[in-house]
Amino acid sequence: MRRSIILSLALILGAGLSNSRAESGSELAELIVNFKAKTAEAELVARAGKDPKGAPDVIQQLDRSLQSISGWPLRVKQLTSGGGVLAALDTRAVLARVTSDLGAQPGVESVRVEAKQTEKQLYARPAEMVVRFAPGSPESAMFRPRLGSGLPDTPSAWIADRSKALSVPLEGGASGENELRLYVAWESVTRSAMESLEQSPLIDYVEVNRVLIPYDAR
């Protein structure tokens, strides 16, 4: 499979892009995406490479295209030497949608996101969502299952229901009385995005940027 060399120093896509994306820490998985020649997206990449000052506007167009193709909020971080882009999942956008949905569910008292980072804070580890249910609410009964209630009879069933409704893979379980700890299965999200991109007639190839995958010694 062909590989592109990332132009981390030779090409900077504007200070605004660098500050808001490369330093935000909101993206985890990174993908190298090359568009097929003569597509509108390939022309946008070429235009951004020739005119760095106009790159931010072009990048926004590429963001919209990648999201439309993949079904996930992918954000361009850099151009590559092969005429493609280095894109990353905007995990904050995904988490915002998930937490908004969870917070609106019956019986939910609060949703709190706990972000985790490595010791040097170079890469954000998957954030956990702590979901608290109001004591005495019908939904809190799933922590003490009762047959015939008509509600999800276990925390796992509730999580599966929300995961299916959101089309976002959620994992986790009960962490205390009336409390769940959930997280998005980012590996599954990345796989889903890659599969959608690979099936698009606009994409030449897509691969994980393995060079920049953080190493966790645990």
Q: Please, are residues 117 and 25 in contact by the beta-carbon 8 Å criterion?
A: yes
Query: What's the sign of the alpha-carbon dihedral 99, 171, 29, 199?
Result: negative
pLDDT per position as a tens digit, 152-181: 568 999 999 999 999 999 999 999 889 999
What is the model's pLDDT at position 122? Answer: 40
Give every strand in the sheet of 170-176, ordered side by side: 108-117, 124-133, 179-184, 170-176
Tokens of 109: 């008292």
Q: Cα(172)–Cα(147) distance, rounded to whole angstroms?
A: 23
Helix segments in the chain, DSSP class H: 15-17, 40-50, 55-70, 91-103, 155-166, 186-199
Q: Binning pLDDT at 50, 70 and 90, where does residue 23 land?
A: very low
Measure the CA–CA gap between 142 and 177, rounded to whole angstroms. 10
Indicate the domain borders of the chain.
15-90+188-212, 92-185
Give 29-81 pLDDT, tens digit per residue. Answer: 689 999 999 999 999 998 888 877 778 888 999 999 999 999 999 999 988 87
Q: Mean per-residue pLDDT for 173-197?
A: 92
Structure confidence by residue, pLDDT tens digits, 120-134: 444 445 689 999 999
CATH number of the domain at 15-90+188-212, out of 3.30.70, 1.20.120, 2.60.120, 3.90.1070?
3.30.70
